Each structure stands twice: as structure tokens, then as C-alpha cells.
Structure 1
């Protein structure tokens, strides 16, 4: 077996853990896999050996085989950058029905394109409402249900805070950036001018003066995506309104890395902000985008460079 693989595995696990993943099971699996390669006299990772190892357990579901191969594939992609001899197993070699769709992480350019597309909606109140909804979710990471469930009295302009009713009846108080506060107060002023006779308690309202409903929310967002030219990456990674929450989480952690902050200290704060009981609930949102992985790798390389040799 290539003597460099254990070192690559060590670096791979460090970078992933820097992103908040614990990886106890993954570390054990990949260590066993490297031991298997050694027993087989393999010089590097091959598709044949990866498939044989992944499907070795008997009496288990095909999904478990697929999960084992997926863990190997992720590591193989990492190792290939250092050793081109490494073979990366195809993504669908052992298909398993995913439990969730892969999140779509919007770029800043795409968010701006969605805001511009929302401005083209008619009537004007509809355009203003959807512009505000997208901007609010992008800036705060609210769940879709939390955003459309907001009432006007949840906004405290004097204190610059927003009271959010989350899952299971839990509430949290979010301090608002001045730009977000200005956007919400500006929206309320426009709303009062466009629909002066409406007395709906909802913060975000439809063109009929009622609270936004999911039944009309998603068709309108689909129109916005088309206008903005944003298309699915694959059949399992399609842009959704909810993905603004994923984007917020990833952007927050990226900012932490780039500003030199401690990601381990930022994660619990992000978790509380997003309404999660435990930081582990936030891990799903920290999708390993290329930018986030690169930032984590740079931080790891920097910290290792400072260690005396």
C-alpha cells in the first residue's frame, strides 16, 4: 500500500473536523479500509478494492453498502489530488435512495439576481414582498415557515430585534443588522402605502393583503429562479427557497475562517441563532462546499506551519 495514504487520511480527517464533523465512524471505517488495502497488497485505492470492501458485510441493507462506499469515495477524491493513481469510485456505483436532497448553496451573485427578478413581479406589493422575503432569509437564515409566520409586532424597531417563533413553539430573539432593519421598516412603509386599508397581523403579506401561503410561495419562487437564470445542479440538487438557510450557515462559517475567528467558537453561536438545540443539529447545513473545504484546509496548513519542527 502507498505509504502516503495514512498521512492523507490524517489530513482529511483534520480538515473535515475543522468544519464541525465528528467522524468517529468514518475514521474507523477508513482506517479499516487502509488495512484491507495493505492486506491485499494494493499500491493505492482502486475501484475494485473499494467496491469489495464496501460490500463485504453480509446480512445488511444495500443502503449500508452504499454509505460505506460513499465514505471511501469522499476520501478518494481528497487523496487523488495528491496521488493521481488513486481511482475514485463513481457516485452511483452503489445507488441508495438519499434521505434528503442535497442543499443548493447560492452565490452572492445568484442572491442579487433573485432580488432583481423579484422586483419584476406584478403587482408591486407582490414584488416588494418577495424581494423582502428573499433578502430576510438570506441575511438571517430563517426557516421558510418562520419567515412567513412573522407578525408585525415581532419586529421591535427601537431595539432592532426580531422575535422568531421556531419549531415546537420555541422562540428566539435575533439582533438585526442595520441594513436588515432598514429593509424591513422600508417594506412596512411601502406596504402601508400600497395596501393602506389592510389590517393583517402578518409581517409579509400577499397581493390580497393576507399572510403568504406555501401554496403560492413555491410557484412564485420558481418564477423568480427562472427569471434569475438559476438552474438545478443535478436531479438531487435543485435550488429551493429553504436553501437560503443553508447558504447563510455556510457563509457564516466562511466569514469566520476568513476573518481569523475560531470556527469552534462560532459554531455554537450559529447553532443558537438558527434555533437548533445542539450544535450537532447544525452540521447538516455546513455542506462541504469547495470554498468551505479550502478555507478549512488553509487554516489547517497555517496552523501546522506555526508548529516548530
Structure 2
């Protein structure tokens, strides 16, 4: 076991004892230790961390940023043991993937989509999809929220839907237009 392997193991044990999962980070840090050992490195440098982070080919640049982030966390720990360790600065690799431009559905688009559901077979599939797409279009709900609804979440009398466990783990009420109920 190399010195870097030992330090990675100690770092992961310490962080996990603090409640962190670090499953993916643990895997990539073991790879980092092997890379540093193979390179004959005496200490972790920003240049080595960047070279290692960019090793996987044919992956999105965000993956490189995640790998460098794991190396940065480990380097912060390692610097307390070896002062020659360099901590890669944040922002050296892009940390987010470019978001696609959302498509805004016009009333005509929604109408064509709902009309197209009538072509589905069996009939239950057609009416289910029409109801689902109509609900999403009328309420602005996310697909996962609509699929997660139960009968207890629907209050047709007051025209309200209760969304449990939203994207950020909250509960929210969605008012419905009378034409939807």
C-alpha cells in the first residue's frame, strides 16, 4: 500500500465518520492515489490533479470538474500532513453543464399534443396520456410531481393539488383553474 493509498483511506474514514457517503469520491480518490504513485509524485500538485482529472476521454467536462473537486477536498486534508501539497483553486474546470434552452409550449402546441394522444391504443392509454399532459400544461407541474400524485393529493372541491416531496423536499399546494377540475 502506497503512502497516497494510506492517506486516501484515512481521509475517507474520517469523512465517513462525519456522516458523508463519498461512494463516488472514494472510487475516484483511489484512482488518484494510483495515478500519483505511478507518476512517482512526492506530493500532490495542481498540475498533477488537473492532468488526472482530465484523464477520462469521451466524457462531459462536468465529470472532469467533479473529479477535480474530489481531488481538491483530498488535497485540503493532505496539506495538513504534507505542507508541500497544492490545493487546486476552485473554478479551474467548468463546474456546470450548459443548460439547454427550455421550450415554451404554445396553446397550439399543447392542443396538437393532446389531439395526438387520441391516436394511442388501447383507449385507456390514450385518455391517461391526455389527462396527464393536460394536467401538466394547465398546472405547470413537473412530470415527476404529476406521476407521484395519489388520490389523497387531489381536492376537486377546492380546486387544489397537494404536491408531496417536491424537487426540494417540501410540500406545496397547486391551485387548479375551474376548467381543469
Task: Give the corresponding residue for 1:15.
Answer: 14
Determine helix, strand or coil for the equivalent of 2:82: coil
User: Gaps (5+ residues) in structure 1?
Assistant: 99-165, 170-241, 243-273, 276-309
Match of 1:168 among 164, 171, 175: 164
Q: CA deviation at 1:167?
A: 5.6
Counterpart-to-counterpart distance in 1, 2:58 and 2:6: 33
Alignment root-mean-square deviation, CA: 2.9
Q: Is the 8 A contact 1:33 1:53 kept in 2?
A: yes
Deviation string 1:100-135 (CA, Å, 9 cap, x unpaired) is xxxxxxxxxxxxxxxxxxxxxxxxxxxxxxxxxxxx
Alignment of 1:200-239 (within 5 A): none
Q: TM-score, normalised by structure 1?
A: 0.31
**Greater Cα offset, 87-96 or 64-73:** 87-96
> Contact between 1:5 and 1:79, CA under 8 Å: does it hold in 2?
no
Report the counterpart of residue 97 of structure 1 in structure 2: 96
Pair 1:77 & 2:76 matched: yes
* Partner Cα distance (1:31, 1:45) in 2: 14
Whose radius of gyration is greater, 1 or 2? Answer: 2
2:49 matches 1:50: yes
Q: Contact conserved, 1:46 with 1:88, CA < 8 A, in 2?
A: yes
Query: Normalization by structure 2: what TM-score?
Result: 0.51
CA contact (8 A) 2:43 2:85 kept: yes
- RCO (CA 8 Å, sep 6+): is it higher in 1 or 2? 1
Aligned length: 106
- In the TM superposition, residue 49 of structure 1 has moved relative to its aligned partner by 0.9
Q: Which residue in 1 is equivalent to 2:120?
A: none
Change (3 A) 1:167 1:21: farther
Q: For structure 2, list consecutive stretches of 5 or more residues without a partner in the other structure.
A: 98-161, 171-181
- What residue in structure 2 maps to residue 34 of structure 1? 33
Structure with more of its chain in helix, by fraction: 1
The Cα shift of 1:45 comes to 0.5
Tell me how far 1:5 sits from its aligned partner.
2.9
Deviation at 1:95, TM superposition (A): 2.5
**Structure 1: distance between partners of 2:42 and 2:17:** 29
Change (3 A) 1:167 1:78: farther
